[in-house]
Amino acid sequence: MTHVTFVELSVYENTVPLVSGYLQTYACQDPALTDSCDFAFFSRGLREDPETLLADLLARDSDVYAFSCYIWNMGLIRRLLGELLVRRPDAWFILGGAQVIDHADQYIPAGTRNVVVCNGEGEQPFYEFLHQVALRDKPDLNRVSGISYRGPDGELVTTDKPPRMQVLDDVPSPFAAGLFDNGEYTFTVLETNRGCPFHCGFCFWGAATNSKVYKFDEERVRGDIQWIAEHGIVSVFIADANWGLSPRDVELSRHIVQCKEEFGFPTSLVIAAAKNRPERVAEITEVLVRGGLVTSQPISLQTVNPEALRLIDRQNIRETTYTDLQRSLNSKNISSFIELIWPLPGDTLETFRAGVARLCRMEADTLTIYPQLLLHNTALYDQREIFGIETERAPDPAAEADVVVATRWVNRADCEEGTWFYYVVQSLYNARGAYWLARYLDRAGIQPYDAFFAEATRHWQASNDELSRFVANSVSTADNYDLLNIGKAAHLVLHSHREQFDRLLTGFARTQEWWSDPAARLALDLDLVARPYIYREPVRPPGVPLSEARLLETDDSALTIALPPRHERLPVDLGLLPEGTPVSTAVRFEHPGQGKMPVPRHRTMEQNAGYCHVMIQRLRTLLPLCRPLDSVGTKGSGGGRAA
């Protein structure tokens, strides 16, 4: 009997090993393999102790170890593979996944004959590989399609790839086959199709699948969704490249909601939204929001610079379409977040800043800005010399992430400046640190958004407080690769260092020429009391005195301020209160507690970073309700969320 262990080391603990399930169900359609092999899943979190993982893998005493390899776990896999090769020299090791495809020279150690790399979809090559190592005394790897291995002379041998699967249902559903029935899982990936019709230069999806999209049968997908719900899977990531591209995605979204209503699960859902079907994606988002599964719609723009879009072979939705979509989402009080990447080829520091400013003027809810990662098997990887791309390896030992730190258009200093810039945007715009102040200055023609954020960046860089040190360390070490750093920044600004942030912000404002403008000072006062709380905790007064407004009352959930008579209309003019709201002498800010996690007493910032990252992307659920008061203590008509 050949013992096969599938190894999936995931970002999230208790993850359903879906890829491993595909490989097993496809192979087990052959009775000869069913009779000669037994299979086991090794699905663990990649933050577990490496020595413990190694000991547990050795204890499996397997003949075949099959690793799923990605940028976030490749560093750990290299370490484990090196030890396993020494301690299990008689075992076979097969590596598959986006990180290793067509890069066998980097992952098969010199002198090893028992390591194989799969160069595409894994089901057919893995089936053929098992046929050789499990059913034959002398395996002939040259008869296995789509792999690389080292021959007797130590040179790499690469076999022809099989054609892409066009009938995906040739791979039986591992959910329906019962492979996961006895596992204790809380997170799963769900796949309803494979392929991407786009060729974005930074992305692996389109490059790997030659554009054509193939679908799993809809009834099969519905059955998988019901299994997920019946077995209490809490969170689901739909791995389709463009959820909403197909009309059936609307009905499948409704089916997920119906299953949640019947079984109570899943409770959260993450999608990669189709970029050229904004109306359909908005319909899906509304279905999922009303069903309590998502709280925010992603809008993937990556850049708004036409030259950068041309260089990465991407087209965004029309600006007018985006503007209409954003207004529609805002009117329905549905959160959204724009996804951008820095630095893409063609983008300069100036175009990047200007693009952020344009999106702020369009009233984007939040801007999620990812560092550019140079991924294997992408157009940018192939063109890295043409575009002058320079990288640094992220410090995460479990990962193998190369962060772009320079291109032909930005040197390293400019790249760092842009990274500082987006941390400041995260604090001042996304976290609402100076949201109303920045809007006032931009609309009044005093200081545009990009200049405002750039000035704040310079002040942050010159400061020596914990917030500034956190950003400086993240930038200097390429630790901005860790997407949860955005959650850490939100934790600092909206909770643990809230008062320190108030002092940093006010100190910056006092250095600016516009500080002599009383309306600007009042706008900052509005930010100090309207900035949301990311945890369920008592509301507290700002960490600095207000400059123009007067703090009247603070209780566990609200603050009330009196407005100076000459600027009583400012909250309405800025949009803090709805148009048509009567002028009032005071405003009450009622901060919600529902839907928030209690203040973490025994968990670190790092442990709560994931929660904070998600919460900042569903910002509208955090914003206070603003109510005008006709007089102190008397609620007036109208009111709205502080955005």
Residue-wise pLDDT for 47-60, tens only, equals 899 999 999 999 99
How far is residue 342 from each of residues 97, 300, 356, 400, 422, measured CA to CA in Å? Answer: 25, 13, 11, 19, 9
Query: Can you read off the two tokens belonging to residue 180?
Result: 């996961």
Note the pLDDT tens digit of each residue in 502-552.
999 999 999 999 999 999 999 999 999 999 999 999 999 999 999 999 999
For strands 187-190 and 550-554, give the pairing.
unpaired
* pLDDT given for residue 89 in this prediction: 96
The residues with which 95 forms a beta bridge, in sequence order, are 67, 117
Residue 15 DSSP class: B
- The CA distance from 106 to 369, in Å, is 30
* pLDDT given for residue 635 in this prediction: 53
Q: Mean pLDDT over residues 369-386, rounded?
A: 94
Q: Which amino acid is at 67?
A: F
What's phi and psi for 115, nearest 5 deg? -120, 130
Write the CB contacts of 555 (distance below 8 Å, at least 6 apart in sequence).
539
Write the CB contacts of 80 (distance below 8 Å, at least 6 apart in sequence).
7, 50, 53, 54, 57
- The CA distance from 280 to 288, in Å, is 12
Secondary structure of 274-309 as H, E, C letters: CCCCHHHHHHHHHHHHHCCCCCEEEEEEECCCHHHH
The residues with which 65 forms a beta bridge, in sequence order, are 5, 93
Question: Which secondary-structure segment (H or E) carries 124?
Answer: helix 123-135
How far is residue 434 from each of residues 351, 438, 532, 550, measured CA to CA in Å? Answer: 22, 6, 12, 18
pTM for the whole thing? 0.90
Write the CB contacts of 349 (distance below 8 Å, at least 6 apart in sequence).
410, 414, 417, 418, 421
How far is residue 596 from each of residues 72, 315, 550, 613, measured CA to CA in Å? Answer: 29, 37, 29, 13
- The CA distance from 640 to 624, in Å, is 8
Note the pLDDT tens digit of each residue in 183-230.
999 999 999 999 988 888 888 876 555 578 999 999 999 999 999 999
What's phi and psi for 548, nearest 5 deg? -120, -45
- The CA distance from 485 to 497, in Å, is 15
Task: Tell how many helices (H) and how many strands (E) occur in the chain.
Answer: 23, 23
Q: Which of 415-419, 582-586, 618-622 has the highest mean pLDDT?
A: 415-419
- The CA distance from 625 to 294, in Å, is 21
Is residue 398 within 8 Å of residue 584, measured between CB atoms?
Answer: no
Residue 188 DSSP class: E
The 10 Å Cβ neighbour count of residue 573 is: 16
Note the pLDDT tens digit of each residue in 461-499.
999 999 999 999 999 888 888 878 889 999 999 999 999
Average pLDDT, the chain: 92
pLDDT band at 630 (very low <50, low <70, confident <90, very high): low
Q: What is the CA radius of gyration of the chain?
A: 27
* pLDDT given for residue 201 in this prediction: 87
Q: Is residue 124's pLDDT more than 70?
A: yes
- The CA distance from 427 to 432, in Å, is 7
Query: Can you read off the two tokens belonging to residue 508?
Result: 């910056």
Q: Is residue 90's pLDDT more than 50?
A: yes
- The CA distance from 244 to 241, in Å, is 10
Q: Is residue 176's pLDDT more than 60?
A: yes
Q: Mean pLDDT over residues 304-314, rounded?
A: 90
For the sheet containing 92-96, what is the strand order?
A: 37-45, 2-10, 64-68, 92-96, 115-118, 147-150, 156-158
Q: How much of the chain, in percent, has pLDDT values that exceed 90?
A: 76
The 10 Å Cβ neighbour count of residue 471 is: 25
What string of DSSP letters covers 595-636?
T-PBP-SS--HHHHHHHHHHHHTTGGGTSPEEEEEEETTEE-
Q: Mean pLDDT over residues 151-165, rounded?
A: 95
How far is residue 254 from each of residues 234, 286, 638, measured CA to CA in Å? Answer: 17, 10, 34
Query: Can you read off the two tokens belonging to residue 403?
Result: 């962060």
- The CA distance from 202 to 309, in Å, is 11
Of residues 477 and 236, which shows the higher confidence score? 236
Q: Which residue has the tokens 């021959």?
A: 151
Q: Is residue 311's pLDDT more than 80?
A: yes
pLDDT band at 317 (very low <50, low <70, confident <90, very high): low
How far is residue 15 from each of residues 61, 188, 309, 361, 637, measured CA to CA in Å? Answer: 23, 6, 35, 40, 49
Q: Mean pLDDT over residues 405-425, rounded?
A: 97
Q: Is residue 263's pLDDT more than 90?
A: yes
For the sheet containing 268-270, what is the strand order?
A: 187-190, 235-238, 268-270
What's phi and psi for 499, nearest 5 deg? -70, -35
Q: Is residue 20's pLDDT more than 90?
A: yes
Q: Mean pLDDT over residues 346-367, rounded?
A: 95
Q: Is residue 602's pLDDT more than 90?
A: no
Q: How much of the chain, in percent, has pLDDT values that exceed 70?
A: 97
* pLDDT given for residue 273 in this prediction: 82
Q: Mean pLDDT over residues 419-439, rounded?
A: 97
Question: Which secondary-structure segment (H or E) carries 586?
Answer: strand 586-590
Q: Is 420 left (phi over 0), alpha (psi -120 to 50) or beta?
A: alpha
Q: Mean pLDDT over residues 282-286, rounded?
A: 89
- The CA distance from 186 to 394, in Å, is 28
What string of DSSP letters covers 457-479?
HHHHHH--SHHHHHHHHHHHTTG
* pLDDT given for residue 621 in this prediction: 87
Q: Is residue 631's pLDDT more than 50?
A: no
Q: Is residue 321's pLDDT more than 70?
A: yes
Q: Mean pLDDT over residues 441-462, rounded?
A: 98
How far is residue 419 from each of residues 250, 353, 362, 413, 532, measured CA to CA in Å? Answer: 37, 11, 22, 10, 24
- List the single range of 193-202, 266-275, 310-319, 367-376 with lowest mean pLDDT: 310-319
Q: Mean pLDDT over residues 622-630, rounded?
A: 90
- The CA distance from 417 to 353, in Å, is 10
Is residue 227 within 8 Å of residue 178, measured between CB atoms?
Answer: no
- The CA distance from 454 to 294, in Å, is 33
CA angle 156, 159, 160 (to 5 degrees): 145
